[in-house]
A and B are shown apart, each in its own frame.
Chain A
Amino acid sequence: MRNQKTRGNTIIEFTFVVAFFLLPMFLFTYAVGFNLLQQLEVVQLTRDAGHLFVTVPVSLSSNDFQSILNKVGATVGFNSTPPSTAEVIFAKVIYVDTGYCNAGGGTCSNINNWVFAQYYTLGVAPTGFVPLLAGPTGVGTTGSNDGTYGILDQVNNSKLLIGPNLPGSLSTILPYAKSSTQGLPSGQWCDFVQVAATPFNVPLVVTMNALTDYAAF
């Protein structure tokens, strides 16, 4: 015999526990755990994409390159063409010092500045994602379909200009011309890869814009 007054107490208690504690905790744990693992994958994708960018001399626009990248980035939902839940940005930056300026003809409006030698994106950027290196716009093509710009554009086209310093933490890399000791040699470039993936968001529990990572190679 069960007391009529206490009948259903356990289920009510359990419901309260589930509704106000277990479920949010489960969702939180799942979201945090999933995003942690996704962050791990994003870091791995950045590393792999950087390896491909630096060591596999195939055009970024080629099917060969993109099919490999699609396989590598599948775990974060990356696909080089829509639909995709991630984006990979490839950038090659170079400092226009006197030596590089001379190589470009000797007259350089971009002298003593960092410029883009290449900027290429694949995939779809997550909502709210702001890239570390905002790409140039309206430059037009210079004979390449993978975002590569010729030396004349690099030394003269203001749309390729990044500035005298690289933004944020990237500015740690110094061009030799600006450093009295060590730095990137004249005429040499630095490759950057940034990856952004859509996170698993739970309203009121976990909300973020994007899982991101970048690296220089």
Chain B
Amino acid sequence: MRAICGSRLNQRGTAFIMFTLMLLTVILPLAGLAIDLTIMYVVQAKLWEAVDGAALEGGRLIGTASTTDLTGLVSQVCSVNFPPGYWGSSSQHCPSNAANTIIVPPAAPTYAYYVNVQGDVTAPTIFMKIFQVPGVLVTAAATVTRRQARIEVVLDRSGSMGGVIGSLKTQVQGFVARFTEGYDEMGLVVFGQSAVVGYPLQNAGPYDFNPAHHATGGPDTYFNAFSTGCGTNGASVSTCDMPYVISTINSNGRTNMSEAISLAYIELQKSYQRDLATNPGGIDTRNNIIILFTDGVPNTMSVYLNDPDVPSGTAMSAAVAAAYPVPGVLSPGNSLLPTDTPYPTITPVPTPTPFKTWVQANEDKNHSTCFYNPSNVKNAGTNPNGATLADISANQMIGTLGDSDDSNNSSGGLSQIASLDTRTYASGSQTTAWSMRAVAADEQSQTLLVPPLNVVKYCNTLGWNLLPANGEMNVVNNTNGALGKSYLDIKTLPPWDLYGNLLTDLGQGHGVSSASSFPAGTGYSGLITQAGGTTNDGTDAGNGAQLQMAAWNAVDQGSNRIRSDTTMNITFYTIGYSGNGGTDDVLLARVANDPTQVGYGCKCSTLFQITGSTQRQGQYFPASDTNAIGDAFNKIAGILLAIYR
């Protein structure tokens, strides 16, 4: 008993001793190791955050300062993000010198700027000091890429935009401000009844064949250069910047989308060629982008009203041949640039077909197409007869065809295109006349003809009016003097529009609906049932439904041709505002070549994409209200700025 009691007494406190031993040898070291490791991770996470933030700042500011200045700024930001002595750390390099911040200028194969930032620091230890480990070296690195952008913004300013044009302008101005002036390139095309280049202003049109002018055309880096909106750019040209030009946009006219994207393409080519010529090594480093905004469906297109290739043996043929296949579109041997670099090949190359005139003149149906031959200007007011068929044949005439699908609708029909004029805007004198509808006084007074391209002008056989208040070339019904059906004046549709975009079906587009055919080269025939159940004469080329389908196809064909350019690799982003009666989701998804449309809940599917191609895939953004328009522009900016780790 005593032995037992003694043994128990001897055991008193052993649990405490054993626990203490275990605490000292096992629990505390383990807990200490865990704490040291966690501190190390915290320090490393902070270091990662520091180099991340510094790299993002450097990436965002590329182009705004010299590489040396940016390197210094990256170092400053890194120091803010990782204060000296953070959590007891030491030997901080965040980054310590230029060797830890490397800004790599664009080069093949990515042609992107790289900002590489590295940092290292010694994280403190508490318990591991017992084992002679006073600190642990942790490192972090971040890389940001930023590719230069070349962006052509294409804005719909048609009449239906009236309710949201103000909001759109604000949002687009905000979009422009997100890009770096002096680094990115930006341009603007605006379209209604026809399209014009809004920025840069000088020598912006596609019909100016003076090579010296085109060196200054196309998107440039001065797009946001002037605090007051206008000033003198780097080429010593007095001009206005893009936000200012955007502020002048008013809504009017119809929806000539195919001309708009074609002008955008031409503008991008100008800058591309210019940069190729001036960049060291002759490389182009930019993402080529077209951003198309619209609130409707294409219903108008610009065409030759007569066959430019068969001018009845007049002197016109030489001029047309010089610009063949399509003036204004760069083609082999037809460069708009002084370097005369053949670019690009139009695919498919339009095949000349000996068509006659597309329009009717002084024909039957009791209608007189009263085209005015500019060579007879001096006789204005005395010659009420307008142009004869011979006049039309002898002159190359350009105009827009709109879908005037009711008998007395003057909003469509034949109109003169705005981009024909040779505007040279002085600083601050930009007007809101974006097409020849609602022409402003300054445009009326300017030369509207670019020889040898003669332009049809309005005439009114009853009240002869040489310079109308708008640029319409509508027709007059001889029997009652009222504006007549424009479609009665369209004899047939040409096979392609002014820019070489085929008006026929590319696939999934609009084609024939019955056996009755139009003349060769067109894809329209048969009876077309329009909304509301009205059956139109599908054999009539001037029928509104036919014109609209042709305009639809011109956009589809045109965008496909632009995306097929494997040299520039142009990407489309499209925004469709559905608040003004609806857009065509399918068309806009096809233009963008968007593979994700199912996710947006629209009816699009892979069926509507250009399948099997290597074309760049863009994105279509349906927008149901003005906030959604802003979000769409913001998302596109995020994609294009392409700052990422």
Residues of A with Cβ closer than 8 Å to B? 1-3, 6, 9-10, 13-14, 17, 29, 32-33, 36-37, 39-40, 43-44, 46-47, 50-51, 54-59, 62, 64, 102-103, 169-170, 172-174, 176, 181-185, 188, 190-191, 213, 215-217
Contact = CB atoms under 8 A, between A and B. Distances in A.
Contacts of B178: 57
Given A32-B35, A54-B56, A216-B77, 9 more contacts: A37-B38, A47-B48, A50-B56, A57-B634, A213-B49, A215-B53, A215-B81, A216-B54, A217-B57
A216 B57 contact: yes
A141 to B, nearest CB: 15
Nearest to A173: B76
A96 to B, nearest CB: 13
A108 to B, nearest CB: 12
B45 A169 contact: no
Interface string B35-52: 100110110011011101
A181 B4 CA distance: 86
6 contacts: A17-B19, A33-B35, A56-B638, A58-B635, A190-B77, A216-B81
Main secondary structure of the interface of B (DSSP, over half): helix
Contacts of A213: 46, 49
Contact of B42 (A13, A36, A58, A191): A36
B64 interface: yes
Question: What are the 5 closest A-B residue pairs judged by CB atoms, nearest first?
Answer: A182-B72, A57-B634, A103-B227, A36-B38, A47-B49
A172 B49 contact: no
Interface residues of B, number: 53
Main secondary structure of the interface of A (DSSP, over half): helix
B80 A169 contact: yes
B52 A47 contact: yes
B42 A173 contact: no
A185 B52 CA distance: 20
A13 B16 contact: yes
A188 B45 CA distance: 27
Contact of A55 (B35, B49, B643): B643
A58 B73 contact: no
B73 A182 contact: yes
A40 B5 CA distance: 55
Contacts of A2: 8
Contacts of A50: 49, 52-53, 56
Contacts of B53: 47, 50, 215-217
Contacts of B50: 215
B12 interface: yes
A190 B57 contact: yes
A13 B35 contact: no
A17 B52 CA distance: 47
A55 B638 contact: yes
B68 interface: yes
